[in-house]
Amino acid sequence: MFLLRLLLKNAFRHKLRTMLTMVGLIVAISAFGLLRTIVDAWYAGVDGTSSTRLVTRNAISLTFPLPLSYADRLKNVTGVTGISWSNWFGGIYINERNFFPQFAVEPESYLALYPEYLLKEDQKRAFILDRQGAIAGRKLANQYGWKIGDQIPLRGTIFPGTWTFTLRGIWDGVDAKTDESQFLFHWQYLAETMRKRFSKGADYVGVYVVRINEPDNAPVISERIDAQFKNSLAETLTETEKAFQLGFVSMSEAILVAVNAVSIVIVVIIMAVMANTMSMTARERLAEYATLKALGFSPGFVVKLLFGESLVIALLGGGLGVLITLPIAHAFAKAVGTLFPVFHVSETTMLLQILASAVVGIVAAAWPAWKMSRIDIVNGLRHVA
């Protein structure tokens, strides 16, 4: 207790300098935490995938559809226990800034494949029975203030025209990793409307979602599926849901590397600032440390004082930085809307922030502590602070 009081007194002996150093730490650690959270959010779709789901798409590209007739053949593949399908819609709600994922799905089979979407039974029935019905995730509904029964118009970009849906349900995620920013409606409604308007392009789907019996058999089952459609007009590529999501993440790999690099640079910069603070502290107290050694205190005690003082400042600043990260992340998530479906500061990120603070404190004190432990008593006593 005595040592802690001594460290606190020493740390705040020069209040202005200590406070400015802590402000720098708070900014650096909170920025580090926010950048790490952005990286985590980029991978959130990957973390929320299921090992029992595969995704089958056109082998050429996602922009090329697959025939609806593939559904029956997929059901007969050994190891497949369920299938569904979806189309990316890409509509605009009110204006271009309101971006969120919209999918035309086969309601019953699709919801059966996604048990992490917690939808009340009465809302589920209402959605299935209403051809123009739709459901949305809780985050998306909250963002736009939607309520059950609201009419939601979407202006089509891929599928021309204005499409109006009635919100029949709002689902909650089973945990924090579940995407609550999607909008789902009936694939059959899309197909029927396209058939009436254009007389073609109705019996095609974007991707098939396949449920399998054993996750360990995913590679074998994927090969079986793709072999079914080998040399056809629309060959398939089947991969795990995780691999499918990683394909999108890999498109932004350069950005993620840059964000990670910036987060590390921020910590290195504040480490240099902290080292300068501790070096100034050590120089000012040269005579005090020499006196301690003259009184019989070991060099190790002097080292403990410097490391302790540095850690006190670093951990106080880092702790405040962690606390400030939470409201900053909340404000950031609100500002970007559905760009990051899952955005929250994880326990791992907070631990990394505290660890980074501790590393800054230790490294910053290393050089001055080593110098002060080797100080000559006579020369130190001659020093005038």
CA proximity to 309, closest of 274, 257, 341 = 274
Query: CA-to-CA distance for 86 and 208, rounded, in angstroms?
Result: 7
What is the residue type of 274? M
Determine phi and psi for 153, rounding to 5 degrees.
-90, 135
* Biggest alpha carbon–alpha carbon distance for the chain: 98
The per-residue DSSP string of 65-80 comes to -EETTHHHHHHTSTTE
Residue 208: which H helix or E strand, with range?
Answer: strand 207-212
368 Cβ contact partners less than 8 Å away, ≥ 6 residues apart: 275, 278, 279, 281, 282, 306
Query: CA-to-CA distance for 152 and 257, rounded, in angstroms?
Result: 38
Q: What is the pLDDT along the chain (385 residues), one digit of tens a residue?
A: 666 676 677 777 778 888 888 888 999 999 999 999 988 888 877 777 888 999 999 999 888 999 999 999 999 999 999 999 999 998 999 887 888 899 999 999 999 999 999 999 999 999 999 999 999 999 999 999 999 999 999 998 888 889 999 999 999 999 888 889 999 999 999 998 888 877 666 789 999 999 998 888 999 999 999 999 998 889 999 999 988 888 877 777 778 888 888 989 988 888 888 888 777 776 666 666 666 666 666 666 667 777 888 888 888 999 999 999 999 998 988 887 777 778 889 899 999 999 999 999 888 888 777 776 666 665 655 554 4
CA proximity to 240, closest of 254, 219, 262, 257 = 219
| Distance, CA of 171 to chain centre | 20
Query: CA-to-CA distance for 303 and 12, rounded, in angstroms?
Result: 18
Q: 111 with 168: CB under 8 angstroms? A: no
Query: CA-to-CA distance for 356 and 322, rounded, in angstroms?
Result: 11
| Tokens describing residue 294 | 């003259």
pTM over 0.75: yes
